[in-house]
């Protein structure tokens, strides 16, 4: 069964994702044409869910790597391990994806060390190869391999930006938080909460997002709204749920937290 057949047969099993534009068509076209894809957008806006949705839509295995400061090239490519006195090679997630086909998704790629991301360059151009120096292999990516990376441009600094020469190897998509109606629909679908609660939580998010870059390092994510809705659905007071799921996740500053709580209390008439 090819990927297109899988798409037709598994529509009902796809991870839920609410499209906002042409991103699904762009992803599919990039995959068909063997092009790498870069997704940029704020934390919690749906980048990872979108990739999972498209992997299922195309019937492809998904290898996800959460990038961090200590991520090494060996973590991606693989390393020799010693077991029972024997030395054996163990593929990393990037190598497994290249060998077996599928999507390798590097989440927040700019968090990885610069010398680590260099290993992506020969995969992100028309060569589509992965040299493995430690084994002497030169792997050619199969047609169904796709490299996808993501990062949050608003959270970058001078030390953690993606080089222009690297960005230009990718087809790119820009994500943002959903509009109010779509975000409320996402909350309803993900949590089965009351429609009034979904609308209030979205209103809170829109108000607090106006404070980004002033008092908050990160904006309120759709993910945090889902957490709050689940707590309320479980019987928790909405104001208490919002403090725990939203406010305390956004700031450690007591004064900023209290300012955010004023917005939440007013929303719920307290």
Question: Which pair of tokens denotes residue 112?
Answer: 């990885």
Task: Quote the distance between the C-alpha of residue 190 and its chain's center.
Answer: 17
pTM: 0.85
The string of DSSP codes covering 185-242 is HHHHHHH---HHHHHHHHHHHHHHHTTBTTTBSSPPPHHHHHHHHHHHHTT--HHHHH
* Residues 76 and 130: beta-carbon distance below 8 Å: no
Local confidence band at 7 (pLDDT 50, 70, 90 cut-offs): very low
* Residues 59 and 28: beta-carbon distance below 8 Å: no
Local confidence band at 159 (pLDDT 50, 70, 90 cut-offs): very low
Q: What is the pLDDT of residues 22-56, one digit of tens each?
A: 999 999 999 999 999 999 998 889 999 999 999 99
Nearest partner of 221 among 240, 205, 239, judged by Cα? 205
Q: What pLDDT is attached to residue 213?
A: 57
Q: How far is CA 24 from CA 2, 51, 107, in A?
A: 18, 10, 18
Rounded Cα distance, 76 and 69, in Å:
13
Element (H, E) at 106: strand 102-107
Q: What pLDDT is attached to residue 10?
A: 42
Residue 14 or residue 148, greater confidence? 148
Local confidence band at 214 (pLDDT 50, 70, 90 cut-offs): low
Rounded Cα distance, 63 and 104, in Å:
5
* Residues 225 and 202: beta-carbon distance below 8 Å: yes
Question: Which pair of tokens denotes residue 192?
Answer: 């089965």
Q: What pLDDT is attached to residue 240?
A: 97
Looking at domain 3-174, which CATH architecture does it have?
3-Layer(aba) Sandwich (3.40)
Rounded Cα distance, 198 and 243, in Å:
16
Average pLDDT over residues 74-80: 91
Percent of the chain at pLDDT > 90 equals 67
Q: What pLDDT is attached to residue 155?
A: 58
Q: What is the pLDDT of residues 197-212, one digit of tens each?
A: 999 999 999 999 987 6
Rounded Cα distance, 52 and 65, in Å:
13
Over the chain, what is the mean pLDDT? 88
Residue 234 or residue 160, greater confidence? 234
Give the 3-state secondary structure of residue 72: coil
Residue 259 makes CB contacts below 8 A (sequence gap 6+) with 215
Q: What pLDDT is attached to residue 212?
A: 63
């Amino acid at each position: 069964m090819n990927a297109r057949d899988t798409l037709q047969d598994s529509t009902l099993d796809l991870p839920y994702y609410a499209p906002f534009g042409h991103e699904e068509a762009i992803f599919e076209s990039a995959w068909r044409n063997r092009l790498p894809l870069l997704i940029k957008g704020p934390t919690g806006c749906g980048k990872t869910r979108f990739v999972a949705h498209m992997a299922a839509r195309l019937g492809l295995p998904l290898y996800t790597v959460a990038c961090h400061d200590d991520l090494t090239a060996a973590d991606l490519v693989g390393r020799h391990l010693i077991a029972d006195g024997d030395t054996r090679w163990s593929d990393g997630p990037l190598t497994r994806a290249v060998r077996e086909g599928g999507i390798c998704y590097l989440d927040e790629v700019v968090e990885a060390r610069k010398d680590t991301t260099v290993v992506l360059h020969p995969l992100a151009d028309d060569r589509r190869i992965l040299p493995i120096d430690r084994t002497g292999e030169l792997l050619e990516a199969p047609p169904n391999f796709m490299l996808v990376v993501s990062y949050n441009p608003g959270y970058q600094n001078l030390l953690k930006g993606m080089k222009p020469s690297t960005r230009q190897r990718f087809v790119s998509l820009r994500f943002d938080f959903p509009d109010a109606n779509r975000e409320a629909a996402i909350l309803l679908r993900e949590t089965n909460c009351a429609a009034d609660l979904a609308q209030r939580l979205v209103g809170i998010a829109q108000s607090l997002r106006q404070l980004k870059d002033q008092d908050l390092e990160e904006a309120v994510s759709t993910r945090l709204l889902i957490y709050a809705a689940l707590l309320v659905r479980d019987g928790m007071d909405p104001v208490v749920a919002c403090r725990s799921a939203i406010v305390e996740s956004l700031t450690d500053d007591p004064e900023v937290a209290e300012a955010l709580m004023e917005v939440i209390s007013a929303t719920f008439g307290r």
